[in-house]
Structures are given as structure tokens and as C-alpha cells.
Structure 1
């Protein structure tokens, strides 16, 4: 996107984020583009020989907010402003009230959408009101306090408006499970709906000044061992399998859902990337919206990597995201992909690192890119593996390449 690179050259942009990978899908030699991130093994590889990437080392992984408030950040932003004779725009992975308030206090220009809108769209109860008539995309649901919920005789999903201790979604499999949760949070309001068996399909999309760009659909890899020990933890995406799972009618319905949600976001002043997760009911073959991510989804870097591999001259979803945040019109579609995947190894009760022997074995497999991450908390990311080819044979079933990776880990 020549217009984006020219804009950044004239209007410097600083991406501040705890994980450098989320910011590294633009030409790192582009004039006017800067990154501030944590000092990790992968970040050091990217930053070697570059002066536009600042790595902060405090002996632990700092959050985006902590990086923003770090003394090195203020000094670096001042240097960028002096060099370009213009204050830089700032981008973060996801805007929150504390980040927004700090940028306002400092007089810094934050390009991300307003945090209040993000919260309304993402949080499970406020989302229903925000969707309005688009709530028809959701599964049939009810809203009540936990103490008012009656065991329906079959498993169901319970969601709080916002996360509590890192979790806002629960699979209630028994009356005992409901009773225990009710005892802990009797007055909390929750959204409930029947447990739907099926594949989760997702896409990364961009709201631009002129409308919504629909990204390529991917199958969401969930709960696979040894990548995680949590049944609902996302451990990757597969862009090849998704196109096989969706019928022509399903694909059209999915695109309609994305565009209508994107149009509503646009009407509320939102610009930039957003993602939706949809479950394909294995029995009815109906699509149900289960999540909206009003931010740059975590799979954007890998999708952009695959798009660049397929068409170096095309437009990636990450480029479109930054262009939209800068208010630039985008007149071309993003590159469409139907192959490639990523799979993530997470911290479990028994595993908190990948052995050197495993890393060595993985490096010998063609078409893989390994991105280590110093995850330490339960569920944290240890290793992200990008593959130029799909890893899934069917829903919940790895193909030959995926099984090979699984055996190594």
C-alpha cells in the first residue's frame, strides 16, 4: 500500500505493544514507522541493526500500558517528534481506559478507537444492546443474575459481561456446577445459551472510512493437547480447513454477518481491524455469532505473513488496519488466502517451555516459522508456529503435518 507508506513517512507512527510480533508485519525499514516492545528473543532478532525498534528490558514482560508509561517511551517519542518535526501517532494492540487517559494527560495522539466503544461491543451483556436488531446473529439466549438460573437438564454456556480472574465464559455441565458458580457470584448478571457442538470459524476484517473489508476465513483450533490443557483455549487458526467446512450458503451468510457488524461499527465511528468468531452448528448447519473482538485480533500477524508470501505486492490485513487507523481510504481488497495455519503451545500444569531438542526438530520442517515467547502464567504463550500450509484434516483432527508437530512437542 503505497498510500500508507507515504502517509507514515510524512506522519510518523509508533506501535507500542508487549509482543513485537503484533507490530512487525509492516516493512520494518519503512521511514516513519517505529515499534516499542519488550526485549524477547524474537524481538532481538527483529531489532538487530535497526534504530526504529526500541526494546525495554525490566526483567519481566511489561503490559502495553506499562510500556506506554515507561520513561524510555516518553524520551523516544520526543526524539521521533524532533526528527520528523511532527508529533507521532500512537497505536496499541487494544485500547483501554487507562491507556486512553494517559495519552490524553500527555497530549499524545492515540489512533485506536475509543475504549468505551470497544467495551460496549466486546462485553457479553452490553454487546446485546449494542447489536440491536443484529442480535439475531447470536444463539438464542437469556440474561439474568446467576442465582435466577435454573438447571435446564443439559449443558449450557454461561457468560459474564466482563472477565473475572481471566475468564468470562463457563461451560456448565451439571446442576452441581451451576450451584457452585451461583454460590460464588449470585448477583452477577450473565448471558446463557445452549452448548452448541460444532466448528468455530473466524475472520479478521477492517472497518475503513469507506466500508468494511472482509478478511479470509479460518478455522479456530481449540483445546488440542499438548498445546493446551484447557478445553476451550484457542491454540491456532487454519485457513485451509475453513473453506472446506463452509458451504457456499454458509460462506455468504458469514460475509453478510461481517459486513453488517462492520457497518454498525463504522456508524459508531470505529476504524481499524475487528474479528468475529462464529460457531457452525454440526446438527443444523446454522451459523451463530459467539464473539466480537473490537481490536486487532491476535491472528492478524500470521494472516498478514501468509498474504505477503502469496502476493508480495498485495495488501495485507495488517496494512489495511493501520491505514484505517490513519483515516486513509482503501480502494483495494486484502489478499485472499486459502492455505496456511498457526498453532500455539501454551503453558500447562506440566509444561512451561519448549525443549531445545524440540525446537531443533521443528526447525528442520520446511515451511515453518518459529516465534518463541516467554510465557510464564497458566495458559500463556510459549511458542507460536506459523505454517505455510494447513495443519488440520478435519474439525478437531490434525493432518499429517500437524500430527508431526504434535509428536515433537
Structure 2
């Protein structure tokens, strides 16, 4: 598929693994990121790199003098818009092709999201919103049942979510979050799912896919996510209901002034589906997802986001549910209490975990037993921050052998 885009669009991202698919699919989109062994594998003038310093956030990239000079006359896309980015862009006269950070900030608030869902009658777990110091365990248990879940307004990959099984769990939480307001949810026994979408004059809702979560080998937090399995599908009738509800949510977001790429997390149980939170930004799956969409003949949601940003409507598509993807991915995070530096290169590993090719190309995966590791090497990785994106051409669900190999990869990369 050909994509009609101007040649002055730049994706500025501090983690190169999130840009690999973008480079592969869009021949006239450039990428600005930190230099690493992975970026050195891409022999392209469209990849502009600078050495990482102590601070490695997107705003640190933008403030680099070489980057500032490169971005003159360019339109910038960032993974997640923030106040510092928007202020810097205005001062330096370049356009940011992301929604206003204030609107995204509100939609990211899990407490406000619950109220938005209630307003439009979107299915979600029964909930209460109270100050942590004011609640009583038996009272909440009586209203929601036990165990129950506590979510604070902000956090990523499970860092703001806690399962409360007894009085002691709640007492421990109160010590750290006494003055905080939180959302208390009825615990839903089920599978964690997510979807990617674009909100606009015409909203496009992607096919739901499974989230990998709840394994302490990959994430320290209870229920914390660590990847996705794109190979599995829900019953079509259930998928249609979820997509219908997601469209209503997208329409409400658009009324609030939001547009562009977002993610929507939910749980599927025997009693139906229940929305948990909105991620009003690009999601961690955007790189591989863009590659899979393009390979399947779909207009990638990244492209739909850019169309909306440039004043054009999203492309209508007949039925995304017919598309079958064949990949899974794992996000490896630093689970230590200190910063680490990864020195290994990205590459393709065989079934015995031998490095057989230095590459970051998804197309290099030919067999279901091979593993592609895209590594963020050469810079300090802070606690709970991702340092590698692992891709396999098979399902990850119920496959302990694959998960064990991925865990072994962490030892090899370290």
C-alpha cells in the first residue's frame, strides 16, 4: 500500500524499538532517537541519532542542539505528548502532530475515565472513588466483594494497580498512599485484552488482542503487563460488541477534543467484557502492529493518526476482524532496584538461543522457533523501564517453553 505523506514528518522517540516498524512501512518518515548498536544496523539517512547522556527522555532528545537543527521546518510526532514537549515546540517553532497534552492527561486519569465510562454506560467493573485514608476494608468488601482492586489515577504497566485480598494488604497500602484518592473496583476473574484505535471524524477501531500479564519474571507489579499475543481471537459476536462500545468511547473522547491513536484495555470474563482504562497515546505495540497491518493490506493506525493530524479523514475499512496476525511480543524491563546498561546487540536467535543474525528486521523471522530481540543498548536503563522488545512468530499463550526461552534471553542480553 502506498501512503501519501509529506516528507517532513519525523517520529522522535527515545526507545528505538518503538520505531522499527514505522521505518519499515513509511519510506518518507524520518526517526530521531538515541544512538545504539541497533540504530547502527539501519543504513538510512532517515535515521538521525545522537549519543545518550544521563537523561534519556524524549524532551532530552528534542533539546539536543543537533536535533534542534535537524528539526527545523519539520513536523514532529512523539510517542506521548507532555507539557515540556509542547512548550519547547512553541518556543522553537515546530509543529507537534499529537493531541493537546491537557486533554490526554485528563483521559489518562483512571478515576476520570471511570466517570466517562459511567456517563456513556460503557461496561466496566463496579467501582467506588474514595480517599485511601477514609476507607474501611470490611465496608469496601461488603460493597464490592473480595478480593477487590485499587487503582490510583496514574501509572503504567501495572504500577498503579493493587489487588487487596485482606486487611493487611490495605494497611500496607495506606502507609504509602494515605492522602491519595483512588478507584476501588470489583475484581473480575477473566482474561486481559486490549485494542489499538484512532479517534477522529471517522474513528477506526482495531481488532482486540491478548495482553500478556501477571508474571513476576517479567513485571514486578501485580497484574503488570509484559507483552501481547496477536494470534488469538475472541468469538466474533463478542468482538463486535467490544468494537461497538469502543466506537462510542472514541466518539466521547473526540467530543472532549482528543484525536489520534489510543489504546483501550479491558477484561473478558464469562459475564461479558469490562473496560479498565484508556491509554490516550501511542501504545508499546505500535511498531510491530504497524508492520503487521501493512503486511495484511490494512491502512496502519499510525498512518490514520497522521491523516487526522494533517486535516484529512481516516480511511474507512470494511472489516478488520477478518485479519489474522501471526506474531507475539514480550517487553523486557529492568526489574532490579538499580540502573543497568545493556551492551548486547539486537538480532535473530535460533531455537537453541544462538545468535544467528544481527538485525532488527521483523521479516527476518521465518520460523516459529526463532526469536528476534530488538535491544535498547548502550544507555542507562532505569528501574522498571523497558530495555528490549522480543518478537516471536507464534502464539505465546499457554506456551511455557516459549516463555522460558524468553526468560533465558534476559540472561543472555544482560
**TM-score normalised to structure 2 length:** 0.82
Task: Name the counterpart of 2:396.
Answer: 391
8 Å contact kept, 2:17–2:389: no
Q: Does 1:207 align with 2:199?
A: yes
Distance 2:116 2:265 in 1: 17
1:399 positional shift: 5.9
TM-superposition CA deviations, 1:90-140 (whole Å, max 9, x none):
111011112112212222211100111101111012223444522542211
TM-superposition CA deviations, 1:196-247 (whole Å, max 9, x none):
22111111111233x1111122100013353344442211101122x1xx23
Q: Does 1:341 align with 2:342?
A: no
Provide structure 1 residue ranges, at least 5 long, that are not aligned to the other structure: 79-86
1:256 positional shift: 1.3
Distance 1:238 1:225 in 2: 18
SS of corresponding position for 1:237: strand
Query: Which range is displaced more, 352-361 or 268-277?
Result: 352-361
Task: Name the counterpart of 1:295.
Answer: 281
1:359 positional shift: 5.3
* Match among 245, 261, 264 for residue 273 of structure 1: 261
1:51 positional shift: 2.2
1:290 positional shift: 0.6
1:264 positional shift: 1.4
Distance 2:46 2:344 in 1: 32
8 Å contact kept, 2:23–2:30: no
Distance 1:157 1:354 in 2: 39
1:19 positional shift: 1.3
Distance 1:121 1:237 in 2: 23
Task: Name the counterpart of 1:73.
Answer: 67
Aligned length: 382
8 Å contact kept, 1:300–1:318: yes
Q: Does 1:95 align with 2:81?
A: yes
Distance 1:287 1:302 in 2: 26
**TM-score normalised to structure 1 length:** 0.83
SS of corresponding position for 1:193: strand
Task: Name the counterpart of 1:317.
Answer: 301
Task: Name the counterpart of 2:154.
Answer: 162
Distance 2:298 2:169 in 1: 50
Q: How does 1:112-261 map to 2 (within 5 A)?
A: 112-131=98-117, 133-134=119-120, 136-152=122-138, 153=141, 154-163=146-155, 167-209=159-201, 211-224=202-215, 226-241=217-232, 243=233, 246-261=234-249
Gap change, CA 1:171 and 1:30, over 3 Å in 2:
closer
Distance 1:151 1:229 in 2: 25
TM-superposition CA deviations, 1:17-61 (whole Å, max 9, x none):
101232333356967522111112222222x2x222211113446
8 Å contact kept, 1:354–1:383: no
Q: How does 1:3-14 map to 2 (within 5 A)?
A: 4-5=3-4, 7-9=5-7, 12-14=8-10
Distance 1:223 1:122 in 2: 22
More helix by percentage: 1
Distance 1:106 1:188 in 2: 37
Task: Name the counterpart of 1:306.
Answer: 292
1:151 positional shift: 0.8
Structure number with greater CO (CA < 8 Å, separation at least 6) is: 2
Q: Does 1:24 align with 2:7?
A: no
SS of corresponding position for 1:206: strand
Gap change, CA 1:184 and 1:106, over 3 Å in 2:
same
Provide structure 2 residue ranges, at least 5 long, that are not aligned to the other structure: 357-364
RMSD between superposed Cα atoms in Å:
3.0
